Amino acid sequence: MTLKRQLYFWLGSFAAFSAFVYVFSPILLPFVAGMALAYLLDPVADWLERRGLPRLAATIAILAVFVVMFMLILLLLLPVLGNQLSAFLSELPKLVGALQKLMTENIGQRAFEVLGISGADLKSSVGGLLGEGAGWIAGVAKSLWNGGQALLSVLSLFVVTPVVAFYLLLDWDHMVERVDGWLPRQHRDKVERLAKEMDTAVAGFLRGQLSVCVLLGAFYAIGLAAVGLNFGLLIGIGAGLVSFIPYVGATLGLVVSLGVALVQFWPDWVMIGAVLVVFAVGQFLEGNVLQPKLVGKTVGLHPVWLMFALFAFGYLFGFVGMLIAVPAAAMIGVLARFVLSQYMASSLYSGTGGSRAGDRDG
């Protein structure tokens, strides 16, 4: 097979896969979630197998423990978070109005008097800004809720996903061997090496960043609740969960927390400062302890590339696209580094007649 035919084959396969995801994205959520769950839990199943437990028993035990823990968390947190979310959405117009009044009559007025901005202009500008922000948040929440009716149904997530995860986890090693048998023999070693690099990048980021999000969410929720911030549990867990997008989770949580704190605690700067301290400590722990220990530097995902992938895949494939954005970005990063290394080892880069990469492969 010539290089051109191979290129056509892989480009065609990629186009077919993209078309499949685009067409069936409304029903892919439970299957993608089940595959992700099986991928994350496969090392645990392998560890139990090495200690003499049959694969079937290991799979049943792992999924049973996971489902029980997940249900306990939902039963304990879901009522509280549901009540706080309902109260937050109902109080949002009042919070925006109180924050607008506070900024125009106290903080903003004193700050902008030096610039010669009148109180009426300031009130109009701040009111418009806060109104647009509140409308955007409400629109996002409404779209997520409406989309969730179809995507995040109880049937798909709580029934189909565990079943998919069970069968995939049970047959994971056999599926890997089967796919390995389909690889072109001429390039098998190179493809396997790239696949291992992709697995290291994807697994390192997913497992590590998931742990970071859970720990940060717990820290923010406990810290804000301890300070006494209204909706602190909801805001803290939300900021932790969105922390898989670099800097976005902490920034969004800080902005919302600071707005609520200003309305709730003004003019007590000590309590407002305590909210800021919670996020400052959280960022210190994330940057100096959690990220280096749990994610490490071997993943190779630049924050800008990760944010672009999340926006791009979310725009193309919706919520399912956001789920596959991180592993897809990691895989594309590995392939891009491989292509760059091949280019720098070729005559196109060196300007010579031969190819050092070809000499090495030979």
- Write out pLDDT tens, residues 64-95: 888 888 788 777 777 777 777 777 777 777 77
Percentage of the residues of the chain whose pLDDT score is greater than 70: 76
Residue 20 CB neighbour total at 10 angstroms = 11
User: 276 exposed, middle or buried (CB, 10 Å; 0-12, 13-18, 19+)?
Assistant: middle
One-letter identity of residue 71? M
**What is the predicted pLDDT for the residue at 136?**
53
CB 301, CB 330: distance < 8 Å: yes
Percentage of the residues of the chain whose pLDDT score is greater than 90: 0
What Cα–Cα distance (Å) separates residue 337 from each residue in 276, 306, 331? Answer: 40, 16, 10
Using CA atoms, how far apart are residues 116 and 1, in angstroms rounded to an integer? 74
pTM more than 0.85: no
**What is the predicted pLDDT for the residue at 234?**
83
Minimum mean pLDDT among 7-11, 211-215, 256-260, 276-280: which range?
A: 7-11
User: 171 exposed, middle or buried (CB, 10 Å; 0-12, 13-18, 19+)?
Assistant: middle
What Cα–Cα distance (Å) separates residue 285 from each residue in 15, 213, 218, 280, 292? Answer: 42, 12, 13, 9, 10
Q: Could you give the residue ranges of the DSSP H alpha helices within the chain?
A: 3-24, 29-50, 55-102, 108-112, 119-151, 154-155, 161-170, 172-182, 188-227, 232-241, 248-265, 269-285, 303-344, 347-350, 356-361
- The model's pLDDT over 179-231, given as tens digits with 9 standing for 90+, comes to 777 777 777 777 778 778 777 777 777 777 788 888 888 888 888 888 888 88
Using the Cα atoms of residue 264, residue 266, residue 268 and residue 269 in order, give the sign of their dihedral.
Answer: positive
User: 160 exposed, middle or buried (CB, 10 Å; 0-12, 13-18, 19+)?
Assistant: middle
Residue 148 CB neighbour total at 10 angstroms = 11
Give yes or no for residue 273 having a pLDDT over 60. Answer: yes
